[in-house]
């Protein structure tokens, strides 16, 4: 009997980190049947000579919760060798949700994740109230890739407490109700639970995310549900990490007996040496027996913003208040000398630690809003200020006001130092990801972190071997998330396979498209060198282009 599919003579990186070798990979009925050696006849073959066959990559940190509902092809993740994604990160998920809370739940996504609230209102067609119903809705869409899910802390609080969720701590009865909802979600197959304690994260209406109001005892109680069931990962997002906080997360992992993935360990221009302290604290946690994984990203975070729409300065109280105010009121404030003094102090003069780097030489003008200023495209604000003979802040504000606040800027806060990134990604206790796929769609594209890792940190710099790079993208993610039958090339496991050219694999530059519902804008990103992608044994990508096959499954814990 012929196999469905055989990849012939490829360099096999099986996802375990074991040394590569040459051989065939045979697939039948959605399952891997043979790895290595010479396989028998097949109905379809791929010539693997000079190519690498590896398990499909697993992106453990996405915000595709909404986009899946109108984009079952799961672009642009599908272009980069990703075969499984995990949604519901940062305390945000689309369930559980009462009908009267739907718009509030969309608002938690809109500002934090840079999603167009009108697009969400238009495109999310609600048919569920609980996580089981949401899982069914995604399954009915027949996605091209596999989808695992976390349940977010924000919807749990909103479901139980209503608008009190953004005002106060929960009572013991309310915590018990949240525990029941979490247990129900995990029993329906959820991969775990996520929370968000980032002080910079607000709803669209300027109110804090509900999870920020939770006391630590509430988190302990929710963590106990995972302990009792002995399954599930805990994902945590917060700002202002330090060694003490990392140690406390290791303690939390030890108390719950569950893996904790925290965001994020990065090279930051604002605090260029912080990563060393955080990495050392992470290693010490594992030496104590904890599993508090430091989530990191391979790519710089290129944040695009203007003064009509953007989160760039949300950490600063004066800026935050204005950015949630009506446009005319905001414009008037930006011209007020006394207000400008406060704004200047927060983003130029105050040297206290913050997320904003205050490096105006790496804030670029990427989209002048008027024809007369078209020549400024690509200039950085510091150089522009010198060219017009102005202080850097006055030059920035005056340009924005001249262009009706529509001037587009871009800045990279993180991962500008490749040596630091190489040291971070090669550490055995960092987990790669944080693509944020599905979020910030008009200002950033993080889909290509897998192909960037293979191009820059494996092929060009050699910070990771090919085998270790593949392991970090595959079995490591599967093990942490509790996905039992993926992440390795092994007979009997699901046939999620990527075939790529190690000499050319790389992400392409993102391109702006207007193909979301209603013509909404988003950045798409393709890749070079990704030849073949199989999901559950079906060909979903061939020579870098989707085939239209939609063979993904909703991943339920333990499978």
Look at residue 181 in the predicted model and tell me its pLDDT: 98
As a whole number of angstroms, the distance between CA 245 and CA 223 comes to 17
Peptide bond into 196 cis (omega under 30): no
Specify the CATH class of 57-301+414-546 in words. Answer: alpha beta
Q: What is the pLDDT confidence band of residue 195, given thresholds at 50, 70 and 90?
A: very high
Task: Please say if the pLDDT value at position 450 is more than 90.
Answer: yes
Give the tens place of pLDDT for each residue, 345-383. Answer: 999 998 776 678 888 998 999 999 999 999 999 999 999
pLDDT confidence of 47, banded at 50, 70, 90?
A: very high
- Predicted confidence band at 149 (pLDDT cuts at 50, 70, 90)? very high
Q: How far apart are CA 161 and CA 165, in angstroms?
A: 5
User: Which of 187, 171, 166 minimizes the C-alpha distance to 105?
Assistant: 166
114 touches 441 (CB < 8 A): yes
CA distance 277 to 241: 10
- Looking at the chain, the whole-number percentage of residues with pLDDT higher than 90 is 82
Q: What is the pLDDT of residue 211?
A: 96
Q: Give per-residue pLDDT as tens, 411-436.
A: 877 777 899 999 999 999 999 988 99
Distance (Å, whole) CA 418 – CA 267? 9
Compute the distance between CA of residue 434 and CA of residue 415 in angstroms, rounded to an integer.
Answer: 13
Residue 291 structure tokens: 């599993």
- 3-state DSSP assignment of residue 73: coil
- Read off the pLDDT of residues 88-137 as tens digits, 9 standing for 90 and up: 999 999 999 999 999 999 999 988 888 889 999 999 999 999 999 999 99
CB 307 within 8 Å of CB 397: no
256, 226 contact by CB (below 8 A): yes
pLDDT tens for residues 508-539?
A: 988 989 999 999 999 999 999 999 999 999 99
Residue ranges matching CATH 3.20.20.140 in the chain: 57-301+414-546
**Alpha carbons 89 and 518: distance in angstroms, whole number:** 26
pLDDT, tens only, 204-233: 888 999 999 999 999 999 999 999 999 999
Strands 363-367 and 292-296, sheet pairing: unpaired
CA dist 209 → 153, 228, 298 (Å) = 10, 27, 27
Q: Where are the beta strands (DSSP E) in 66-160?
A: 82-87, 146-152
**Mean pLDDT, rounded, of the chain:** 94
């Amino acid at each position: 009997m012929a196999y469905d599919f055989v990849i012939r003579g490829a360099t096999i990186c099986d996802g375990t980190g074991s040394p590569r070798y040459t051989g065939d990979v045979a697939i039948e009925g959605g399952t891997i049947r043979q790895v290595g050696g010479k396989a028998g006849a097949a109905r379809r073959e791929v010539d693997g000579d000079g190519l690498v066959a590896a398990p499909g990559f697993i992106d453990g940190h996405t915000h595709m919760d909404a986009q899946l509902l109108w984009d079952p092809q799961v672009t642009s993740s599908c272009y980069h060798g990703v075969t499984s994604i995990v949604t519901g990160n940062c305390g945000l998920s689309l369930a559980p949700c009462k009908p009267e809370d739907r718009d509030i739940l969309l608002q938690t996504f809109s500002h934090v994740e840079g999603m167009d609230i009108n697009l969400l209102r238009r495109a999310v067609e609600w048919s569920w109230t609980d996580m089981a119903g949401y899982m069914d809705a995604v399954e009915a869409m027949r996605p091209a890739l596999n989808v695992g899910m976390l349940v977010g802390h924000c919807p749990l609080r909103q479901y139980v407490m209503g608008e009190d969720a953004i005002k106060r701590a929960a009572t013991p009865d309310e915590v018990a109700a949240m525990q029941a909802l979490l247990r129900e979600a995990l029993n329906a197959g959820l991969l775990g639970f996520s929370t968000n304690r980032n002080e910079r994260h607000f709803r669209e209406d300027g109110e804090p995310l509900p999870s920020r109001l939770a006391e630590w005892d509430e988190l302990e109680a929710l963590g106990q549900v995972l302990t009792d069931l002995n399954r599930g990962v805990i994902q945590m997002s917060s700002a202002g990490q330090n060694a003490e906080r990392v140690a406390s997360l290791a303690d939390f992992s030890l108390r719950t007996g569950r893996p904790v993935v925290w965001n994020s360990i990065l090279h930051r221009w604002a605090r260029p040496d912080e990563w060393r302290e955080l990495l050392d604290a992470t290693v010490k946690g594992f030496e104590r027996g904890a599993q508090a994984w430091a989530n990191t990203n391979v790519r710089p975070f290129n944040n695009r913003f203007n003064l009509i729409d953007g989160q760039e300065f949300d950490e600063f109280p004066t800026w935050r208040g204005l950015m949630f105010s009506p446009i005319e009121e905001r414009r008037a404030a930006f011209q007020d000398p006394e207000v400008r003094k406060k704004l200047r102090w927060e983003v130029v003069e105050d040297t206290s630690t913050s997320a904003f780097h205050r490096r105006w030489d790496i804030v670029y003008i990427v989209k002048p809003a008027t024809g007369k200023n078209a020549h400024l495209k690509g200039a950085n604000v510091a150089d522009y200020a010198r060219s017009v003979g102005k202080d850097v802040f006055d030059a920035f504000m005056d340009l924005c006001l001249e262009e009706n606040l529509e001037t587009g800027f871009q800045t990279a806060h993180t991962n500008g130092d490749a040596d630091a990134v190489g040291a971070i990604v090669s550490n055995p206790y960092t987990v790669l990801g944080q693509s944020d796929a599905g979020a910030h769609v008009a200002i950033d594209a993080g889909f290509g972190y897998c192909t960037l890792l293979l191009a820059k940190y494996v092929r060009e710099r050699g910070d990771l071997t090919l085998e270790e790079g593949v392991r970090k993208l595959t079995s490591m993610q599967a093990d942490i998330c509790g996905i039992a039958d993926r992440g390795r090339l092994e007979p009997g496991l699901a046939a999620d396979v990527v075939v790529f050219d190690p000499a050319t694999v790389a992400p392409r530059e993102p391109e702006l498209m207007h193909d979301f519902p209603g013509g909404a804008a988003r950045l798409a990103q393709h890749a070079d060198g990704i030849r073949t992608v199989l999901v559950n044994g079906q060909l979903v990508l061939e020579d870098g282009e989707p085939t239209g096959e939609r063979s993904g499954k909703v991943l339920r814990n333990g499978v």
